[in-house]
A = this chain, B = another copy of it.
């Protein structure tokens, strides 16, 4: 696809992301059939569409047969009112971007959602979503959690972050917030997937937290700027969390809770589902125990989670070194890699100085490099992996 075509495609998807609710499989089917621009054309100019509409001759036919008129009208009204240029400008002003399928940074595991695949993702934050998502785990659970649940969520998140894993959650009160905070406390990588615009943090009480995640990690959502959450958007957001990650850990959940929806979505997508047990006397563990009596795996610490999701299967068979040649790294990432000294662990700030960028940006790149096998993390800082060192020596004609 040429650059101008990508631009048209991106604008069409930005428009559709305002017109269509997340996870609308009707829209997904038309999108699959006509492409984003084709679908949008038929929506905005239904009269032009009838010649290829199938029934032939009966001018003014239905451009979306089988999709209810009410739904189509709602799409059309919202598409007409959309201002994709303004939305794209708004996300750029925040230092963010609007990712669409085909972008290098697009997390291809979202394709597993089929017709419910997001039209695009509005993203804030310095890291590469695709790379992070490959090495990510969702920690989810009740908003009204117990102190035990919050403690466990934070503890697991810290442990995952220390092992180089990315913690994905929904930025809600309770378990979600504790998980994000646990990852941030370990200066780790974390992604918040919102059910609203990424410029419109929800809940308001997590303003500060979500801002910190956007600086140090990634804030992601399907909805265009200035969109507000609704109950169905919360539920549909969960499928994105499930699809993005290699597995979902439910920490506390009552019977019939939204976290169980995420877990079941994850299971349907072939992701690992895990649960953290708690006292049988706690209603907030009852939903988790229900999961664990099914196919979910009981986990009690970060090692057990990593043991399960770390088995990358075909994605990284017997990985022994960097998964990408250095030359294929994005220039800004390669620059940070060059700034990592050959010997001895170095703190993030030192590497940032040498790379000539901010510590936040450096940290994001270091996590990317970590997940690609170039660097490893120690308590005192970062250093090149043995494999990266020898690859680098070989390149320089060394041993």
Contacts and interface: CB of A to CB of B under 8 A. Distances in A.
Interface of A: 148, 151-152, 276-281, 285-286, 289, 292-293, 297-301, 304
A280 B277 contact: yes
B278 A300 contact: no
The residue in A297, A300, A301 that gathers the most chain B C-beta atoms within 10 A of its C-beta is: A300
Given A280-B300, A298-B298, 4 more contacts: A148-B279, A278-B280, A280-B301, A293-B304
A277 B304 contact: no
A300 B293 CA distance: 10
Contacts of A276: 280
Q: Which 5 A-B pairs have the closest CB atoms?
A: A277-B277, A280-B300, A292-B298, A289-B300, A293-B298
A298 B279 contact: no
Nearest to A298: B292
Contacts of A152: 280-281
Contact of A281 (B148, B286, B292, B299): B148
A344 B29 CA distance: 64
Given A152-B280, A278-B279, A280-B152, A298 B304 contact: no
Contact of A292 (B151, B292, B301): B292
Given A277-B292, A279-B148, A279-B279, A286 B300 contact: yes
Contacts of A286: 300
A336 to B, nearest CB: 36
A299 B279 CA distance: 11
Contacts of A289: 277, 298, 300
